[in-house]
Every structure is written in structure tokens, then in C-alpha cells.
């Protein structure tokens, strides 16, 4: 019996065809870095519970060039995710109205970006000086 040969559009590398999908994949890909980073923190917690020598070994491991490279890539992709998370927040969050009028979308997104900047400064100050 003859094989029915219908055209199936190849999907390999579909996301490289359009910059919009490339950005989508970077944002989704940030979750891989975030997951690995969480596991690094969990290992740090394990090492902390094992005593000072174990903790120092964990800190020493984080100074390796591969670790630094990983964390730079994680920082870039996860920061991009943070940017997009707040950018779409006006569409994902419940309808926000002040005085019966919807709050402009750009203000909601800007509130999120400012919250991230504020939290970042606060955490830096606490870790460094408190």
C-alpha cells in the first residue's frame, strides 16, 4: 500500500525564525538557570548545617571560573525574566482601578520594576552593612 505523504512543516529550530520567539526562549530558558541556582543554594544550606569547614568548602567552590560564568549567565537571563515579568504584569494581574479609572499599564509595570530595584538595594545594604 502506498504511503500517504502529506507535507509536515518541520519544527526543528522553530524559535530561531523570529526574534519574538528567540526572546520567548531566553525568558523560558532563564528557568533552567533559576532551578540550578536554587539547587546551589540548597547545597549551601546542607553545607552550612555540616559545620564551618563544609561551609568554607562551599564558598571556595563558588570562586571557580565556571561558577562565576554560570552566575553571570544566570544573572543576565533571570534579570531579563524579571523585566518581562513586570512588563506583562498589567495583563496578568487583576484589574487595578483608581477612582474608577484603570491605572495605565506602564505605571503598573514601572511599579514592579521600581519594587525590584528597591528590594535589590535593600538586600545589598542589609548583606553588606547590617
Partner 1 sequence: MKRSHEPIFWSLFGAGGVLSALVAPILIFITGIIAPTGLWMPPAALEYSRVLGFAHHWLGKLLLLAVISLFLFHAMHRIYHGMHDIGIHAGKGAMLACYGFAAACTVVAAWLLLAVGT
Of 6, 8, 49, 100, the residue at the interface with partner 1 (CB under 8 A) is: 49
Residue 36, exposed/middle/buried by CB under 10 A (0-12, 13-18, 19+)?
middle
Residue 108 binds to partner 1 (criterion: CB under 8 A): no
- From the CB of 2, what's the least distance to partner 1, in Å? 28
**What is the rounded CA–CA span in Å between residue 115 and residue 44?**
27
* Stretch binding partner 1 (CB under 8 A), from 1-9, 39-47, 94-102, 103-111: 39-47
**What is the rounded CA–CA span in Å between residue 62 and residue 67?**
5
Of 7, 9, 12, 98, the residue at the interface with partner 1 (CB under 8 A) is: 12
Of 26, 78, 96, 108, the residue at the interface with partner 1 (CB under 8 A) is: 78
Beta strands in the chain (DSSP E): 97-98, 101-102
**What is the rounded CA–CA span in Å between residue 122 and residue 97?**
29
Residue 30, exposed/middle/buried by CB under 10 A (0-12, 13-18, 19+)?
buried
Residues at the contact surface with partner 1, assessed by CB under 8 A: 11-12, 15, 25, 28-29, 31-32, 34-35, 37-42, 44-46, 48-49, 52, 55-56, 59, 62-63, 67-68, 70-72, 74-75, 78-79, 81-82, 85-86, 112, 115-116, 119-120, 123-124, 127-128
Amino acid at each position: 500500500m502506498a504511503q500517504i505523504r502529506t507535507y509536515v512543516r518541520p519544527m526543528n529550530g522553530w524559535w530561531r525564525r523570529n526574534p519574538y520567539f528567540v526572546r520567548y526562549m531566553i525568558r523560558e530558558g532563564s528557568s533552567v538557570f533559576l532551578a540550578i541556582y536554587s539547587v546551589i543554594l540548597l547545597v549551601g544550606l546542607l553545607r552550612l548545617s555540616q559545620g564551618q569547614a563544609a561551609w568554607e568548602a562551599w564558598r571556595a567552590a563558588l570562586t571557580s571560573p565556571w561558577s562565576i560564568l554560570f552566575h553571570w549567565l544566570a544573572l543576565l537571563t533571570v534579570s531579563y525574566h524579571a523585566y518581562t515579568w513586570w512588563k506583562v504584569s498589567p495583563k496578568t494581574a487583576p484589574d487595578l482601578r483608581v477612582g474608577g479609572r484603570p491605572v495605565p499599564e506602564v505605571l503598573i509595570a514601572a511599579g514592579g520594576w521600581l519594587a525590584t530595584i528597591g528590594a535589590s538595594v535593600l538586600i545589598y545594604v542589609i548583606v553588606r552593612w547590617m
